[in-house]
């Protein structure tokens, strides 16, 4: 993200590492003993803090400190039947804020973990770990539980939002989400939209994950316009592991788990050759029970993933049960590495898988040896959009660009409960938009620390308009779905988060709670149903194009028949006197006009309006075409992504 200890003068000297801000985490709880939550360097607990440290199983007030300043847990929404399950002995869950799953510990340390030297996972990715805002305080709201028939209930999530608002958090990081089809924003069942609406109206910035249903389009979740929705990208760290074939050729895969020992040269075979039943297809991707134990014994097995039903972890169990000693798993591109326990497994792409298979077919006695993975930093171009990151456009409100922004979410090393008896360093790798969300929440806390009066919309605007479009190799950030292409706003929103630039964006697009209410009106909701959610009296004004004119830092016109005009307002937060000019990248087949083309700010003119008019030259029903509008005074570049779809048939 461009933040280095020595050179990060801007983000970190200006903002005191988030000192004095409070980040609330609605998740699965926390493992308070993790060194990431050490409070030795923390400032005093802010006097405005009204939270508590709620006791429970293996958690009492001494587990809170100046880092974890509050902890609560909520389970009244859970059925009595489930509570009995939890209280029985068949669950590792704790009836307290203690984290049994690990998800909440991981996200909390990513947002605000303190510096931890030599953090690593079994020797991999060793280095200095820290969260986005290492001096921010944490408030933990455990609303999600580890049990078989579900994890979080609406009642518990809403109660967690309520308490977080009451307690006085500045930022909420919420790595939760519904799958499509989505509920409307005034539906009681969308507890995340409703809870975050109330938090936002009280000035709390709410950051949520975009979902892990990519690369399919229109799968993005948490699409309400008052939420900052975060997609996931890769980082420049990889864990290559060598597979040395018997013909002395070395091919490469990736792994974060290589068992207890280096495997010397042993027999190598292809799963279909050792199928229990050669007439079915189950052995190809090593489905459970599909391999002949006599033929698998002592060998490394190559399997090819052919469906979503199978993954490297269950394939490794199949090979292990059949007496195999290692797995090479060939699969389609999918970001994120999984641990196969203590069993050596290496993930390869179809090309390497096919090269390995060709060697097996040509050799009379194929052999191979698997080496330990290495940590390699800076050799892979990054960021790329994570394959799993849910994509826009929003299926619920197509005029609102989602995701807003993208941040690292693949193979992220962060704090984790020390599991079992294995030598655990208290850190683990996880992948998901759940991991990218707290990166942005930490940065939001840094912005809040520097600009305490900024609204959640101003903070989102700063993040979106300063985000980056280019990778470490200088080319456009790419996305790898079914094919490889340049990422567009439905993959990464405004772009990849740039914490340094977001501290000082030049101009911001601000939004009031009333604007959001009028947006709900324009979606066709009645005043009564909106009032039920906002808990205030709502009067819907008759306004045209209110869905297009919500003052977002992005412009989306989903149904352009011939002409449309969009209004926006910008507030100057840079030099008091400044002249900004409009730079346009025009979507293909669309004529665009910005009026005025120059914005002149001074002490009397801090807030200025402009309009963007679109004229379609297309005669066909089209797909989305992308562009951008950048306001610049030479120092600042305030970029707004644009997406337009022409409609000729309805």
Catalytic residue status for 103: yes
Taking alpha carbons only, the member of 291, 299, 242 closest to residue 266 is 299
Q: What is the DSSP string of 593-617?
A: EEESSEEEE-SS--EEEEEEEEEE-
Q: What is the DSSP string of 58-74?
A: TB-GGG--SSEEEEEE-
Per DSSP, 276 falls in state S
Catalytically annotated residue among 15, 27, 213, 335: 27
Alpha helices (runs of H) in 269-347, residue ranges in sequence order: 293-296, 312-321
| Burial (Cβ within 10 Å: 0-12, 13-18, ≥19) of residue 292 | middle
Catalytic residue status for 434: yes
Given the DSSP bridges, would you call strands 240-245 and 171-174 parallel, antiparallel or unpaired? unpaired
Print the SS3 string covering 525-571.
Answer: CCHHHHHHHHCCCCCCCCCCCHHHHCCCCCEEEEEECCEEEEEEEEE
Q: Residue 345 in contact with residue 316, Cβ under 8 Å?
A: yes
For tokens 């293909």, name the residue: 588
Q: How far is CA 322 from CA 297, 301, 345, 356, 505, in A?
A: 7, 10, 15, 21, 59
Rounded Cα–Cα distance for residues 274 and 72 (Å): 53
Rounded Cα–Cα distance for residues 72 and 206 (Å): 18
Strand runs labelled E in 211-270: 228-233, 237-238, 240-245, 250-254, 263-270
What's the residue count for the chain?
A: 650
Q: Residue 638 in contact with residue 570, Cβ under 8 Å?
A: yes
Six token digits for residue 262: 């280096």
Omega of the bond leading into 19 within 30 degrees of 0 (cis): no
Q: Residue 315 in contact with residue 331, Cβ under 8 Å?
A: no
| Burial (Cβ within 10 Å: 0-12, 13-18, ≥19) of residue 264 | exposed
Six token digits for residue 483: 């094919």
Catalytically annotated residue among 103, 198, 439, 496: 103
Taking alpha carbons only, the member of 229, 101, 212 closest to residue 174 is 229
Taking alpha carbons only, the member of 362, 374, 380 closest to residue 268 is 362
Q: Would you state the torsion angle of the CA atoms of residues 498, 500, 598, 613, taken in this order, to the nearest 10 degrees?
A: 20
Q: Would you state the torsion angle of the CA atoms of residues 170, 199, 489, 176, taken in this order, to the nearest 10 degrees?
A: 90
Rounded Cα–Cα distance for residues 69 and 140 (Å): 8
Catalytically annotated residue among 36, 369, 434, 554: 434
Rounded Cα–Cα distance for residues 97 and 76 (Å): 14
Other Cβ atoms less than 10 A from the Cβ of 240: the count is 16
Taking alpha carbons only, the member of 429, 369, 396, 443 closest to residue 133 is 443
Given the DSSP bridges, would you call strands 300-304 and 205-209 parallel, antiparallel or unpaired? unpaired
Rounded Cα–Cα distance for residues 37 and 39 (Å): 6
Six token digits for residue 301: 């097995």
Catalytic residue status for 280: no
Active site residues: 27, 103, 434
């Amino acid at each position: 993200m461009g933040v280095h200890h020595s050179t990060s003068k801007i983000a970190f000297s200006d903002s005191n590492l988030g000192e004095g801000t409070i980040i609330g985490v609605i998740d699965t709880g926390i493992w308070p003993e993790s060194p990431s939550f050490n409070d030795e360097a923390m400032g005093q607990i802010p006097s405005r803090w009204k939270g508590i440290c709620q006791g429970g199983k293996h958690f009492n007030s001494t587990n809170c400190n100046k880092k974890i300043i509050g902890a609560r847990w909520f389970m009244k929404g859970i059925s009595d039947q489930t509570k009995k399950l939890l209280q029985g002995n068949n669950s590792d869950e704790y009836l307290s804020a203690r984290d049994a799953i690990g998800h909440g510990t991981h996200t909390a340390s990513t947002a605000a973990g303190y510096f931890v030297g030599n953090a690593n996972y079994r020797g991999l990715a060793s280095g200095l770990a820290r969260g986005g805002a290492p001096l921010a305080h944490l408030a933990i709201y455990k609303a999600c539980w580890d049990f078989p028939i579900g994890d979080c209930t609406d009642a518990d999530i809403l109660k967690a939002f309520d308490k977080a608002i009451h307690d006085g958090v500045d930022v909420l990081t919420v790595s939760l989400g519904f799958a499509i089809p989505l509920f409307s924003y005034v539906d009681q069942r969308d507890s995340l939209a409703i809870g975050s609406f109330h938090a936002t109206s009280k000035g709390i910035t709410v950051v949520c994950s975009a979902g892990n249903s990519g690369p399919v389009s229109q799968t993005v979740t948490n699409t309400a316009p008052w939420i900052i929705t975060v997609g996931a990208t890769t980082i420049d760290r990889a864990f290559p592991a060598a597979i040395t074939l018997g013909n002395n050729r070395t091919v490469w895969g990736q792994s974060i788990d290589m068992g207890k020992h280096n495997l010397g040269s042993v027999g190598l075979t292809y799963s279909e050759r050792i199928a229990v039943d050669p007439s079915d297809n189950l052995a190809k991707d090593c489905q459970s029970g599909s391999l002949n134990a006599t033929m698998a014994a002592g060998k490394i097995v190559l399997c090819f993933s052919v469906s979503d039903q199978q993954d490297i972890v269950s394939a490794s169990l199949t090979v292990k049960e059949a007496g195999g000693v290692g797995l090479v798993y060939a699969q389609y591109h999918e970001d994120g590495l999984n641990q196969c326990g203590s069993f050596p497994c290496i993930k390869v792409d179809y090309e390497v898988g096919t090269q390995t298979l060709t060697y097996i077919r040509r050799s009379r006695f194929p052999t191979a040896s698997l080496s330990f993975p290495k940590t390699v930093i800076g050799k892979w171009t990054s960021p790329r959009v994570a394959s799993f990151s849910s994509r826009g456009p929003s299926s619920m409100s197509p005029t609102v660009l989602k995701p807003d922004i993208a941040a690292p979410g693949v193979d992220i090393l962060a704090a984790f409960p020390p599991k079992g008896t294995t030598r655990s360093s208290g850190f683990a790798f996880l992948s998901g938009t759940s991991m990218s969300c707290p990166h942005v929440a930490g940065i939001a806390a840094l912005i809040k620390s520097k600009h305490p009066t900024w609204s959640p919309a101003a903070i989102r605007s700063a993040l979106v308009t300063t985000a980056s479009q280019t990778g470490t190799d200088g080319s456009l950030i790419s996305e790898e779905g079914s094919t490889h292409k340049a990422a567009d706003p439905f993959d990464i929103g405004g772009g990849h988060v740039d914490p340094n630039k977001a501290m000082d964006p030049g101009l911001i697009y601000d939004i009031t709670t009333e604007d959001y209410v009028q947006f709900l009106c324009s979606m066709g909701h009645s005043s009564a149903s909106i009032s039920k959610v906002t808990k205030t009296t709502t009067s819907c004004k008759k306004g045209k194009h209110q869905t297009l004119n919500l003052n977002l830092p992005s412009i989306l016109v989903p149904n352009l028949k011939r002409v449309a005009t969009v209004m926006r307002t910008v507030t100057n937060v840079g030099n008091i006197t400044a002249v900004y000019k409009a730079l346009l990248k025009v979507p293909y087949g669309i004529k665009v006009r910005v009026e005025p083309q120059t914005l002149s700010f001074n002490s009397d003119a801090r807030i200025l309006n402009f309009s963007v008019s679109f004229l379609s030259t297309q005669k066909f029903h089209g797909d989305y075409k992308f562009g951008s509008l950048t306001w610049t005074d030479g120092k600042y570049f305030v970029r707004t992504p644009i997406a337009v779809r022409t409609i000729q048939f309805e």
